[in-house]
């Protein structure tokens, strides 16, 4: 199992490392990688939602972004957290972290804020202390993990009591054909590795979260078409099979 997990991570690193090197948007439309409007730094068109828009970020909060990539959501969240707050981005792809560091220089020059930090690590084993974050966000990344329940357990550990999780992701509405489940490009595109809807929500509950809410729910429709290796085939077969959702959940307890 460990070997299979690392094989999956290697596939994802390779695909997203390629995108980071090219530093271009992959697509448009309603596919996994392209529904949110462009941001000034870190926009590679790799999102499936807009978790920051659904998050009530307050000044002084510590925000943790799982799979932060080039930093788009981190840079959107940072001004909302303010100078006394902090936004931590975690990513496992060296090329993405390198690009995020370059974007951070631009962000700091533009805003004067020094409240952003990027850390290398796996989202199944977060490089953060217990209860370090007030809010955890993620944008089309958890479904890339080979062990999604472990991600949600780590999210629970990383949050303070009373802290919230707001994640955008892809879930399946029906089983995919076997050939598509093995399609490397579709896995990297957040689709082939996605969980069934009830299994995804069940993994969040099993980690200990309460008060689950679906904040957004859109079915995948073909026609979004991408030209880069992350999403390139089988659009018709995926039509209606998957949905982009944004989920809210809370860790029980009062914030200290």
DSSP-assigned beta bridge partners for residue 165: 136, 249
pLDDT of residue 12: 54
The CA distance from 136 to 153, in Å, is 12
Report if residue 53 sits inside a domain. Answer: yes
152-156 long-range CB contacts below 8 Å, 24 or more apart?
Answer: 152/203, 152/204, 152/206, 152/207, 152/209, 153/207, 153/208, 154/123, 154/124, 154/125, 154/126, 155/66, 155/126, 155/207, 156/207, 156/208, 156/209, 156/251
Report if residue 152 sits inside a domain. Answer: yes
The CA distance from 144 to 189, in Å, is 8
CATH number at residue 77: 3.40.50.150
Residue 31 tokens read as 């596919």
Report if residue 244 sits inside a domain. Answer: yes
Report if residue 255 sits inside a domain. Answer: no
pTM of the model: 0.80
Rg (the chain; Cα; Å):
17
Give the residue numbers spanning the domain of 125: 2-250
Q: What is the pLDDT of residues 95-121, one digit of tens each?
A: 899 999 999 999 999 999 999 999 999
Report if residue 233 sits inside a domain. Answer: yes
Instruction: Give per-residue burial for 140-173: e unless 16+ CB within 10 Å, then b.
Output: bbbbbbbbbbbbbbbbbbbbbeebbbbbbbbbbe
Q: What is the pLDDT of residues 205-244, one digit of tens each?
A: 999 999 999 999 988 765 544 343 434 445 566 677 888 8
Report if residue 256 sits inside a domain. Answer: no
pLDDT of residue 222: 56
Number of domains in the chain: 1
Report if residue 16 sits inside a domain. Answer: yes
Report if residue 141 sits inside a domain. Answer: yes
Intervals of the chain under pLDDT 70 = 1-48, 179-192, 221-238, 255-256
């Amino acid at each position: 199992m460990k070997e299979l997990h690392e094989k999956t991570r290697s596939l994802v690193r390779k695909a997203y490392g390629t995108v980071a090197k090219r530093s271009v948007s992959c697509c448009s439309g309603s596919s996994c990688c392209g529904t949110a409007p462009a941001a000034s730094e870190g926009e590679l068109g790799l999102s499936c939602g807009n978790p920051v828009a659904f998050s009530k970020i307050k000044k002084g909060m510590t925000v943790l972004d799982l799979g932060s990539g080039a930093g788009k959501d981190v840079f959107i969240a940072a001004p909302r957290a303010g100078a006394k707050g902090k936004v931590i981005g975690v990513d496992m792809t060296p090329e993405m972290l390198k690009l995020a560091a370059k974007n951070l220089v631009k962000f700091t020059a533009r805003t004067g804020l020094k409240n952003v930090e990027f850390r290398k690590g796996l989202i199944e084993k977060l490089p953060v202390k217990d209860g370090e974050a007030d809010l955890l966000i993620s944008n089309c990344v958890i479904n890339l993990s080979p062990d999604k329940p472990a991600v949600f357990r780590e999210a629970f550990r990383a949050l303070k009591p009373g802290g919230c999780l707001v994640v955008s992701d892809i879930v399946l509405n029906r089983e995919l054909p076997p050939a598509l489940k093995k399609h490397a490009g579709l896995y990297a595109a957040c689709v082939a590795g996605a969980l069934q809807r009830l299994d995804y929500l069940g993994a969040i509950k099993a980690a200990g979260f309460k008060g689950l809410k679906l904040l957004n729910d859109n079915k995948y429709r073909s026609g979004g078409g991408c030209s880069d290796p992350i999403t390139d085939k089988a659009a018709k077969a995926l039509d209606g099979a998957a949905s982009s959702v944004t989920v809210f959940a809370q860790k029980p307890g009062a914030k200290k």
